[in-house]
Structure 1
């Protein structure tokens, strides 16, 4: 994560959404974020023990190097105790749209251990405004309709960027 724009709503939504989907551990790779966002992540790390913050060393300047570092590090951290790893931005959500099961249940029940990866079709929720600097009250949250992911059911056409798929 990097940049000055507030991320608190994306962070809380992401963590709570994926907890409901069965995720038990989160790694956040941080280059620079605001104090309020840092406070929020440290709350989850200290109180819940489900979040781990990893500082990206300043020697990695470009976004590609930072992302490759995070992917490699996360794979190494998870390889002994996790069956699945999800790499996503803080504004991305994976959810089951046709079934009444969690993502974890789907992976455990439907996907063989012989599968090394699963690709999901993607849809976008477009963002047209910036978040407030920090959370003030519930009414403020409810007014952020164009920012919240929980109010969208149809946002864009489904896209799958794959050239050739094998059955």
Structure 2
């Protein structure tokens, strides 16, 4: 694929084209060009390239975030406004300062919470749309590669987790655990998975505080199985990784090593970290009784009650309530206070009868 470079007026820079390499999947490596503001790619140099896109500067000398989170694509028709708030506020308490969200499908109601987090500078949202049809897993693979490069030089550490997962440490925040890693050869940190049983649907909309209290995810779902290395998740140094996959780094640069954090060996690993994964018992691809099935030795899973620490729960509760009320607790307009002269000046209908004009 040829890299095509354009100036600020979207005019192609003469002699700037470069024959790039597609590696890994869906990624074309294009070197920097002086004066380039937009870029596109084409299979043949003599053919017109697709509409160029603006380059986003991310080549910082030092990352501007210590810990960011790449979130797997949102899809399906399950309500996601409450999971998004719980996910964001939980991982922010662990030290994450920025989130890369990828959206395939989302309702307008759920999207309001994403818009608010963008407003406050906590996240950026990438809409997953293209002229080529893809099955979901195809979008997921594309998202992994895109977010790996998007976070490179932008964040020192990047976690790759799903919306139903929470990084949960014991005794210290995840950001503090990562700060304690002094070995520059460590480029990947692997975490075991603690499965949390979720057997009900999330609420469709915010009703009131009383209903929200009953649906708080971190309070309602605490029955757990594990932890286990099956389905592990990782936090990586993006610039030290060659290729990312869903659960691990497929290729690391020479000399870069992996550090595994055992949940019961804090002294050995300088910390104790698990990634909590809310596994639904309804609508699962592999059936709804995964938490009741025996292993290869005939042993049934051991279900435990594993609530979050009290102080963490209190801080999380405050953060969730604050954000939910700001976004979804709408304050009705007192239309009687709108001056009549303003209505007549704008030729606007009576706001008490009709909030928006019809055209």
Q: TM > 0.5 between the two? A: yes
**Residue 150 of structure 1: CA displacement?**
4.3
Match of 1:123 in 2: 194
**Residue 110 of structure 1: CA displacement?**
3.1
**Residue 144 of structure 1: CA displacement?**
2.1
Q: Pick closer, same or farther for the CA change 1:36–1:88 going to 2, 3 Å.
A: same
TM-score of the pair, normalised by structure 2: 0.42
Partner Cα distance (2:259, 2:178) in 1: 19
Q: Which has the higher strand share?
A: 2
TM-score of the pair, normalised by structure 1: 0.86
Partner Cα distance (2:97, 2:137) in 1: 27
**Residue 152 of structure 1: CA displacement?**
5.2
Aligned equivalent of 2:157, options 84, 95, 100: 84
- Structure 1 segments of 4 or more deviating over 2 A? 58-61, 110-113, 149-154
Correspondence 1:1-167 to 2 at 5 A: 1-46=74-119, 48-58=120-130, 59-97=132-170, 100-110=171-181, 112-144=183-215, 148-150=217-219, 155-161=224-230
Partner Cα distance (1:117, 1:66) in 2: 23
Larger radius of gyration: 2
Return the structure number with greater relative CO, CA threshold 8 A, min gap 6: 1
Q: Pick closer, same or farther for the CA change 1:121–1:55 going to 2, 3 Å.
A: same
Instruction: Show CA shifts across 1:80-117 (max 9, x none).
Output: 121111111111011113xx210011011136331111
**Residue 63 of structure 1: CA displacement?**
2.1
SS in 2 for 1:64: helix
Q: Which has the higher helix share?
A: 1
Gaps in structure 2 of 5+ consecutive residues: 1-73, 232-257, 261-359
Aligned pairs, number: 160
Gaps in structure 1 of 5+ consecutive residues: none
